[in-house]
A and B are shown apart, each in its own frame.
Chain A
């Protein structure tokens, strides 16, 4: 599908230096007067676009083109949870309906399990066009091998264009298996999806570990697969049911598995930050764990949940479930206050949909200021103690007025 050609006759030591500098992946190697690109290359083509003119050239390869018109429909795998469906499934249905309007495609829900009538009703109430029900006692528990057989069966029969999976721990183990079975692409944890008129799905996510977004597409393979984290999109409004239920045959599908589920234990459901209405998020500006005491009065006053950026998880200061961001949780609270967090894209993508964003940071160029409603330029070690004094005074005042108590 093409490669980057280095025009050796134009290479000199300056050019080697420049290319080595602009390549984010250290992919250039210069040996025996030959400049080559090694396996670290991610084909971002920055050397072609921004490098010295004419040195690196992208050569389009010959590729057999697929007939995109043969693949129609946007399908969502409906993950189950103890009682009913995991809500991420309905969020994906909402997005699927939006995408479908561009290309005039149908929206399909794939439901696998035993006794799934109620989930079917719910899927219909969100306005899907088709529900594909794979109902069998053998499907009572999720099994990655048998469920992969089912998605393969579904795709062979219905030739859909897109299949979306929730980026839950189950989805992140299941979707890749499906991708490898169908020999197609899969983009993990997309934060935005867009449909092109030709049916190509643009999968948008932070990329390369940097402060940068990438539009990824799958130009020549179907189905197009993506996982999306919980709370990235909104569930659609309920509508009058128009969809049709298709009871898919299950008796010819292979049910053998080399994995036997012995036991499931629920984890204690303690304070999930993704459901919180008010969040105080702390970052690496806090120099010692003990300094977190500074936020206590505000936390209590606002009845907030405390969350954090990734370095504080790596420090062991918080449980991983408290991490906001691409590799943590997506949050959408009514209010979030960021204290000493730089606003790396992987963090921002996990909280930018919050209704009111307030940020305290001592660096005027920190990236969170660019997405905050209110940016407070200052040192947390000065602002927080001052704020705590004010909160104290406010409390005293309220109590004196005999007004309602604000103690929590």
Chain B
């Protein structure tokens, strides 16, 4: 059983602001962390692995060289191998180009049974990368998996949580799952594993290592969507400001509610 788990490094804080004068984005520090949903993806992978004698988990990420950090974290948590997909040619990738690049990496890895993704990232927040990878690999996918109910030789049965209902699906290998929190509690990286992995070297794969080396399919070139313009959000001009003592404020609020017939 070979499991490929896709993880991503995201900003630790979502505080990015726009300077009203210059329109330039202001970043709040350089802190990064593993996408929280990918912690569940990893945990689900460890759960799967424990059901087999000979299972192997390969954690993969596409990102800048500094994204190695999340791979190390995955290794210390329990992944067996880790691969970084990194190349300047991948810069500016939208969902399609990102998914295509990851699908090329997975094809390069070769045989696999299950690809596991997080439900979504907290920076891109699209939840689209998983299903697009599945389509590029021509394998089925089930999203928002909360529980793995049963594993057979050729298939598995999983429970998923949708907006208004839950579904139980049987899905045949090879397949892709996106993982929802469910009852999973991500484990912490362990010192023992850290020591055991001391000599492990994370492999970096670049465009030239992939099967499809056509630069036009990657990064900005391979991205159908483009940012035409960024702009600050709108404001309203007729806003009424209420200031004063706490009793002024509470009375002000009550008066608005009275005027609008709420009290």
Contact = CB atoms under 8 A, between A and B. Distances in A.
A216 B227 contact: yes
B118 interface: no
Interface in B83-134: 86-88, 90-96, 99-100, 120, 122-123, 125-132, 134
Interface string A20-47: 0010101101000000111111111110
A387 B254 CA distance: 7
A170 to B, nearest CB: 6
B236 interface: yes
Interface in A198-221: 202-203, 206-221
Contact of B233 (A22, A44, A211, A261): A211
A372 B66 CA distance: 41
Interface string B205-233: 00000000000000111011111111111
A176 B129 CA distance: 8
A140 interface: no
B68 interface: no
B204 to A, nearest CB: 11
Given A176-B128, A212-B18, A369 B91 contact: no
Contact of B91 (A40, A61, A358): A40
Contacts of A207: 227, 230
Nearest to A37: B91
A151 B241 CA distance: 51
A42 B92 contact: yes
Interface in B148-165: 157, 161-165
Interface stretch (B41-49, B72-80, B182-190, B244-252): B244-252
B59 interface: no
Contacts of A4: 91
B231 A302 contact: no
A335 B260 contact: yes
Contacts of A377: 241-243, 249
Contacts of A269: 164
Contact of A371 (B62, B100, B175, B236): B236
A169 B229 contact: no
A259 B235 contact: no
Interface in A342-391: 344-346, 348, 356, 358, 360, 367, 369-379, 382-383, 386-387, 389-391
Contacts of A50: 22-24
Give the bracket for the number of chain A residues in contact with chain B.
Answer: 35 or more
Interface stretch (B9-17, B50-58, B192-200): B9-17
Nearest to B131: A176
B228 A215 contact: yes
A372 B17 contact: no
B164 A267 contact: yes
Interface residues of B, number: 100
B92 A41 contact: yes
A27 B92 CA distance: 10
A39 B225 contact: no
Contacts of A356: 260
Contacts of B233: 206, 211-213, 345, 348, 367, 370
A13 interface: no
Contacts of B221: 1-3, 61
Nearest to B225: A185
Contact of A22 (B25, B87, B122, B226): B25
Given A180-B96, A188-B128, A267 B252 contact: no
Given A214-B227, A263-B168, A390 B95 contact: no
A197 to B, nearest CB: 15
A397 B15 CA distance: 46
B127 A38 contact: no
A212 B25 contact: yes
A45 B23 CA distance: 12
A111 interface: no
B144 A169 contact: yes
Nearest to B141: A144
B224 A221 contact: yes
Contacts of B236: 370-373
Given A202-B228, A260-B170, A267-B164, A24 B16 contact: yes
A179 B128 contact: yes
B262 A175 contact: no
A327 B125 contact: yes
Which of A216, A278, A301, A406 has most chain B Cβ within 10 Å? Answer: A216
A264 B166 contact: yes
A125 interface: no
Contacts of B249: 360, 376-378, 382-383, 386
A1 B91 contact: no
A159 interface: no
B64 A376 contact: no
A284 interface: no
Nearest to B97: A185
B62 to A, nearest CB: 7
Given A209-B16, A259-B170, 6 more contacts: A175-B128, A258-B139, A261-B167, A327-B125, A344-B14, A386-B250
Interface of A: 1-4, 22, 24, 26-27, 29, 36-46, 50, 61, 81, 144-145, 148, 168-170, 172-177, 179-181, 183-189, 202-203, 206-221, 257-267, 269, 278, 301-302, 326-327, 335, 344-346, 348, 356, 358, 360, 367, 369-379, 382-383, 386-387, 389-391, 394, 406
5 contacts: A1-B221, A173-B143, A188-B127, A302-B263, A383-B249
